[in-house]
Amino acid sequence: MRTYVRARVTGGTYFFTVNLAERHGNTLLVDRIDVLKRALQQTRQDHPFAMPGFVVLPEHLHCLWRMPTGDDDFPMRWRLIKSRFSRSLSAGERRTHSRANKNERGIWQRRYWEHLVRDDADFQRCLDYIHYNPVKHGRAVHAMDWPHSSFLHWVERGVYPPDWATPVDIGPDQSE
């Protein structure tokens, strides 16, 4: 069995992609956005981190986290967020034989993708990717149209104009 080694830097800034196990046609994350927000809030209260950027789509989410000085334990935080969200939902999702044998729910993909942000330009690329994602996936015409995002916060700070991120602005070369 392979051991996956994550890049862990105390006080680092990370870009994450986290997916539901069943992505096709699933709208659980936006249908239960209140439960997801509570799971995030409680975890941030118990184990602080900054979240300067995020977007929640029906079946996956992207976010930027800044870890506190001297702390690199983002895996524990994701474990708490996923388990708090899952425990708040009634059981009944389809589970693989492997998950049933391990007494796991079938809501989240086991793994997630993380990227250690290297510099300010990398941070801006990640933030742009996050805010463009609803447009890319056909969920919104402009980033401003999608309610489950940090985009409005960045518009209010003057980083983006309100009409930023139409398909013509970014182009089709952005890949997930």
* Mean pLDDT, rounded, for 123-139: 96
Alpha-carbon dihedral sign for residues 55, 57, 62, 63 = positive
Tens-digit pLDDT profile for residues 18-76: 999 988 889 999 999 999 999 999 999 999 999 999 999 999 999 999 999 999 999 99
The fraction of the chain above a pLDDT of 90, given in percent, is 72
60 near 23, Cβ under 8 Å?
yes
CB-based contacts of 117: which residues, under 8 Å, 6+ apart?
Answer: 12, 13, 14, 15, 64, 123, 126
pLDDT above 90 for 97: no
pLDDT at 95: 56
Residue, of 113 and 168, whose pLDDT is higher = 113
- The dotted CATH code for 13-170 is 3.30.70.1290
pLDDT at 175: 47
Tens-digit pLDDT profile for residues 144-167: 999 999 999 999 999 999 989 766
Q: Across 117-167, where does the E strand assignment appear?
A: none
Q: Across 30-126, where does the E strand assignment appear?
A: 50-56, 60-66, 113-116
pLDDT at 1: 61
pLDDT above 90 for 105: no
pLDDT at 171: 47
